[in-house]
Amino acid sequence: MTVRNECFSEGRLRVWCTTRHGGVSEAPFDSLNLGDHVGDDPNKVASNRSLIQHQCDLPGEVNWLVQTHGTAIVTDDSRARAGAVNRVQAGDAAVTSKSQVVLGILTADCFPVVLYSEA
């Protein structure tokens, strides 16, 4: 299940957060696990990511970031290749200056923060 953040609805930025519900992963990953680095079946993770891709009508594949509790900032201006399930980078912030680039951060007990500028 996804929840769209309407505070960005007037701009060019779309923001979603997901819950654990609505996916295909089995316990203990049930059910909308998006992390392919935690031991879940890679096919289930790919299915869950595809669900998000279609439900949110994203303009491209997601550039996934795994939070590391450090200070690394990943700059990613490239569009992810279709089917790039294992394209996960590690860091604590993802930045892009390009439109149509989809960034996603995998968090557990940390709160994601979105900063946006029209400039």
- What phi and psi values does residue 89 have, to the nearest 5 degrees? -105, 160
- 112 within a domain of the structure (yes/no): no
The CATH number given to whatever domain includes residue 28 is 3.60.140.10
Asked if the structure places residue 45 within a domain, the reply is yes
**Residue 64 structural domain:** 2-106
Domain count, the chain: 1
Examine the pLDDT at 83 and tell me if it is beyond 60: no
**pTM of the full structure:** 0.83
29 is a domain residue: yes
Find where tokens 């007037």 sit: 10
pLDDT band at 42 (very low <50, low <70, confident <90, very high): very high
- Residue 63 inside a domain? The answer is yes
Please name the residue that has the structure tokens 């289930």. Answer: 44
- CA torsion, points 17, 63, 53, 83, in degrees to nearest 10? -150
- Amino acid 31: pLDDT: 92
Nearest to 103 by CA among 50, 64, 59: 64
